[in-house]
């Protein structure tokens, strides 16, 4: 029986169609199985190519998702974004797909379009808490004042990762420079976790050259660093441990055949060895917790302060992905069982590249809130404890991969990044400070550094600026360029320092250096002492005494750190009760006079003593001349500075050198006080102008007028126990030498006895006598007037050289 030709043709065509598409489906599935295997082995380049091939044969949602995820793993973020865009156009796409689409958009720098992309999908930022969009926006608003600068001497069009310096100041880094398998630019390896070794020339991860360590010496010569490991492929992450003169590094050592195992997976491990004179790493030893066929161990960093090796690993028991661990070691490099840093640092995603510098722990992460890709983070580090993780922000991080942050011994900072604008795939960058820095050292008057004090630094708007006082006593702060600042420094018992002339405007270099002297406050210093006198039974201020009070008022007005102590007295005439009341009225008269001059009441301290403190022997019932009674009718005025030891004082404006006040405490006279405190006052008396005591002819008793002057000397010596006085007696030239020598001695002793009687210790007064041997006017060679003879009959006073 024969079938019609048309029916035969139809059956043949149907059979061909069935066989063709069945074969096509089998081929499609084979490609996907191959792609899935390569993805599992982290051979992402082969996986991506296979997924593309499968998708081109048949556009399926699942294939597009796998391809986008592979490209993300691969670090091909631009292409990944294109494929996530493709994914969300499938009707079966999910919210999770849209989250990954938005994340991919952020990685390619589409921050400005993020609201538009959210609106496009009918979402808001709150619908994707896992992306922390608002938090990253906030981070991006306050970038650090640094500029990233490529390290051009080592970057190439390939990938350069990590940097360390050995004892010869050679730069060590890793690179996959060399030819690429198919000539196309392909992203570099991120995490050398595992590889199924198909080629001994290039990585199956990305078809690029295997990583090697390179060394660049100070002369600029560049050479690869051979290692003595057999079948080692990727050699990366160099870290120099100076104390042991060792190079720690990461390596993948190929295992191609193991009995009983198929589809071998090779993971990274940590090794360390010595670098010999020819630049080869020798005597390499494996970290005892490597397991190349089970999990990866990589990114070594030695913290010498804690004898810990920090590293990243995906060993079982972690938080997920690669976590950061440490292993403690002894002097013989015996390592303890690794300890996971826990969930404060580690996330279900990958953490890597730990390093420690200056109390900070640095690491890279895909799991903490970041700008996209891998971000850099810092945490507080103290006594081996890590806490308070913070994203390092811009420009340390970008929307691309930023990792491997290290700090050299000289303070230079480095990171690795594949951010746009680089020369190659991954480039190494260092930092150029845009900010300026303030560095302050504070010394006392002996030149010793003061290491503890309070500091307040504010900008010209009054905003506080963070400062750090380090263990060496340096105050450090970051300053904005072209800006002004005010600095206040305080320490209990010291003068405050206030500086309003701190500016970075026109500053050459990056550091503003300042050195200040903080002087101890000379509490309760006596700056001035004088007496005013009263008429009998009166308390009103004589016109002749008003100039003294006027000068004191001016000192008080100009120097708010001073206090006036007023001690008022009477002579012995009258009852004790009456004299107590009279001395109080005299004190109140001084108080009222100065209040009328604008002096605040709390700056005048009054005491009154009636007739208790006479300056001479004119007690009850003792006949005395009126002039001697007059010496007892007085108010003693003592101007003191810095009397409250609980207060903080600013340095008086007229004092250029605060240490002068320490050297001149208890200034003994009005003029010295004026010299230190207020130089515009008229002169009254000074330590160089002590009174000269004159005597009547052939007499040695003190005139009343001079007793008042000696009372002022007494007051100075009372207020300053360091003062010593020298008294010298003289006569005129009439009479013989023996008699005049005896008379000059009596005149010197009259002054000494008066001061001793008033209460000055005898050992504080020296005296000498010279008779007629030292006249002011030589009356033996000329006829002298009465006044010239009077000037020769004298006793002079001067401060001893041991006095200040």
Q: How confident is the model at residue 381 (pLDDT cuts 50, 70, 90)?
A: very high
End-to-end CA separation in angstroms for the chain: 144
SS3 473: coil
At 237, which helix (H) or strand (E)? strand 232-241
**Chain centroid offset of residue 772 CA:** 71
Q: How confident is the model at residue 588 (pLDDT cuts 50, 70, 90)?
A: very high
Enter the DSSP assignment of 107. Answer: H
Can you tell me the distance from the alpha carbon of 118 to that of 88, in angstroms, rounded to the nearest whole number?
Answer: 12
> Three-state secondary structure along 480-493?
CCCCEEEEEEECCC
High-pLDDT (> 90) share of the chain, %? 46
Contacts of 418 (CB under 8 A, 6+ apart): 75, 159, 187, 188, 373, 400, 401, 425, 426, 427
Pick 109 or 321 by higher pLDDT: 321
Residue 430 has pLDDT above 80, yes or no: yes
Given this model, what pLDDT does residue 194 score?
A: 45
Can you tell me the distance from the alpha carbon of 615 to that of 329, in angstroms, rounded to the nearest whole number?
Answer: 82
Q: What is the pLDDT of residues 609-628, one digit of tens each?
A: 999 999 888 888 888 888 88
CB atoms within 10 A of CB 57: 15
Please provide the size of the chain in residues. Answer: 804
For residue 786, give Cα distances in angstroms to 463, 698, 781: 76, 14, 15
High-pLDDT (> 70) share of the chain, %? 87
At 717, which helix (H) or strand (E)? helix 704-719
Give the mean pLDDT of the chain. Answer: 84
Q: Which of 356, 382, 378 minimizes the C-alpha distance to 365?
A: 378
SS3 156: coil
Asked whether 310 and 301 are in contact (CB, 8 A), the reply is yes
Bridge partners of 238, per DSSP, are none
Can you tell me the distance from the alpha carbon of 212 to that of 161, in angstroms, rounded to the nearest whole number?
Answer: 10
Given this model, what pLDDT does residue 669 score?
A: 36
Given this model, what pLDDT does residue 331 score?
A: 94
Given this model, what pLDDT does residue 436 score?
A: 85
Residue 236 has pLDDT above 90, yes or no: yes
Given this model, what pLDDT does residue 609 score?
A: 95
Given this model, what pLDDT does residue 262 score?
A: 62
Bridge partners of 606, per DSSP, are 566
Q: What is the pLDDT of residues 25-74, one digit of tens each?
A: 556 688 888 888 888 877 888 889 989 898 998 899 989 999 999 988 87
Can you tell me the distance from the alpha carbon of 373 to that of 365, in angstroms, rounded to the nearest whole number?
Answer: 9
Q: What is the pLDDT of residues 753-769, one digit of tens each?
A: 999 988 899 999 999 99
Asked whether 187 and 430 are in contact (CB, 8 A), the reply is no
Given this model, what pLDDT does residue 28 score?
A: 66
Residue 285 has pLDDT above 90, yes or no: yes
In the numeric block, which tokens belong to residue 568?
């008022």
Asked whether 791 and 777 are in contact (CB, 8 A), the reply is yes
Given this model, what pLDDT does residue 4 score?
A: 55
In the numeric block, which tokens belong to residue 743?
């008379």
Residue 402 has pLDDT above 50, yes or no: yes
Cα-atom radius of gyration of the chain, to the nearest Å?
46
Residue 361 has pLDDT above 90, yes or no: yes
In the numeric block, which tokens belong to residue 363?
């690491």
Q: Annotate 593-656 with DSSP letters as a single string.
A: HHHHTT--GGGEEEEE-TTSS-SSS--TT----HHHHHHHSEEEEEEEE---TTS--BPPTT-S
Given this model, what pLDDT does residue 585 score?
A: 96
Pick 576 or 803 by higher pLDDT: 576
Q: Is the dihedral of CA 573, 575, 578, 581 positive or negative?
A: positive
Given this model, what pLDDT does residue 1 score?
A: 45
**Whole-prediction pTM value?**
0.55
């Amino acid at each position: 029986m024969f079938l019609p030709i048309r029916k035969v043709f139809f059956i043949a065509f149907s059979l061909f169609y069935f066989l063709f598409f069945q074969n096509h489906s089998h081929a499609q599935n084979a490609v996907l199985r191959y792609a899935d295997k390569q993805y599992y082995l982290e051979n992402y380049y082969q996986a991506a190519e296979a997924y593309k091939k499968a998708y081109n044969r048949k556009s399926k949602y699942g294939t597009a998702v796998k391809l986008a995820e592979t490209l993300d793993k691969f670090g091909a973020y631009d292409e990944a974004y294109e494929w996530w865009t493709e994914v969300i156009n499938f009707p079966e796409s999910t919210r999770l797909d849209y989250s990954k689409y938005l994340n991919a958009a952020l990685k390619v720098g589409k921050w400005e379009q993020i609201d538009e992309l959210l609106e496009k999908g009918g979402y808001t930022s709150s619908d994707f808490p896992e992306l922390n969009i608002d938090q990253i926006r906030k981070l991006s608003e306050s970038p650090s004042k640094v500029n990233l600068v490529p390290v051009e001497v080592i970057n190439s069009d390939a990938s350069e990762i990590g940097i360390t310096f050995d004892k010869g100041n050679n730069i060590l880094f890793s690179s996959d420079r060399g030819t690429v398998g198919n000539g196309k630019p392909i992203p570099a390896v991120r995490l050398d976790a595992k590889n199924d070794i198909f080629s001994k020339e290039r990585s199956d991860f990305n078809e690029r050259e295997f990583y090697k360590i390179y060394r660049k010496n100070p002369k600029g010569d560049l050479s690869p660093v051979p290692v003595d490991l057999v079948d080692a492929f990727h050699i990366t992450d160099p870290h120099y441990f100076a104390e042991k003169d060792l190079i720690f590094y990461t390596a993948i050592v190929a295992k191609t055949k193991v009995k009983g195992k198929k589809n071998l997976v090779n993971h990274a491990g940590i090794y360390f060895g010595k670098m010999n004179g020819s630049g080869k790493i020798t005597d390499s030893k494996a970290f005892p917790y490597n397991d190349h066929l089970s999990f990866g161990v990589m990114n070594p960093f030695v913290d010498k302060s804690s004898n810990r090796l920090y590293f990243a690993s995906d060993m079982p028991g972690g938080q997920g992905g690669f976590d950061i661990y440490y292993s403690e070691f002894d002097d013989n490099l015996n390592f303890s069982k690794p300890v996971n840093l826990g969930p404060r640092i580690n996330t279900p995603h990958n953490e890597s590249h730990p390093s420690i510098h200056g109390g900070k722990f640095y690491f890279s992460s895909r799991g903490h809130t970041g700008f996209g890709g891998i971000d850099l983070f810092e945490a507080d580090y103290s006594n081996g404890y890590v806490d308070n993780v913070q994203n390092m922000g811009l420009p340390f991080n970008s929307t691309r991969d930023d990792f491997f942050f290290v700090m050299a011994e000289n303070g230079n900072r480095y990171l690795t990044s594949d951010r746009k604008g680089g020369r190659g795939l991954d480039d190494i960058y260092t930092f150029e400070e845009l900010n300026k820095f303030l560095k302050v050292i504070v010394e006392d008057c002996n030149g010793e550094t003061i290491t503890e004090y309070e500091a307040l630094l504010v900008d010209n708007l009054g905003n506080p600026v963070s400062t750090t006082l380090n263990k060496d006593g340096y105050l450090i702060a970051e300053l904005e360029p072209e800006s002004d600042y005010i600095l206040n420094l305080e320490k209990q018992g010291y003068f405050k320092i206030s500086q309003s002339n701190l500016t970075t405007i026109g500053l050459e270099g990056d550091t503003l250096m300042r050195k200040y002297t903080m002087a101890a406050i000379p509490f309760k210093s006596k700056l001035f002492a004088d007496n005013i006198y009263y008429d009998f039974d009166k308390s009103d201020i004589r016109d002749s005494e008003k100039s003294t009070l006027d000068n004191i008022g001016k000192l008080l007005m100009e120097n708010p750190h001073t206090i006036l102590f007023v001690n008022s007295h009477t002579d012995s005439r009258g009852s004790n009760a009456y004299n107590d009341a009279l001395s109080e009225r005299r004190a109140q008269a001084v108080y009222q006079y100065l209040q009328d001059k604008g002096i605040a009441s709390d700056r005048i301290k009054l005491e009154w003593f009636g007739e208790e403190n006479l300056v001479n022997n004119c007690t009850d019932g003792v006949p005395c001349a009126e002039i001697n009674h007059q010496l007892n009718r007085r108010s003693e005025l003592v101007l003191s500075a810095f009397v409250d030891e609980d207060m903080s004082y600013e340095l008086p404006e007229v004092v250029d050198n605060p240490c002068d006040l320490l050297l001149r405490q208890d200034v003994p006279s009005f003029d010295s006080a004026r010299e230190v405190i207020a130089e515009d006052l008229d002169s009254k008396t000074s330590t160089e102008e002590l009174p000269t005591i004159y005597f009547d002819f052939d007499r040695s008793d003190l005139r009343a007028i001079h007793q008042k002057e000696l009372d002022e000397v007494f007051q100075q010596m009372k207020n300053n126990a360091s003062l010593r006085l020298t008294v010298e007696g003289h006569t005129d030239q009439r009479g013989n030498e023996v008699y005049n020598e005896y008379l000059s001695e009596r005149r010197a002793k009259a002054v000494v006895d008066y001061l001793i009687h008033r209460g000055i210790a005898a050992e504080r007064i020296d005296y000498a006598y010279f008779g007629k041997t030292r006249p002011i006017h030589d009356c033996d060679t000329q006829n002298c007037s009465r006044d010239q003879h009077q000037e020769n009959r004298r006793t002079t006073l001067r401060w001893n050289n041991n006095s200040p």
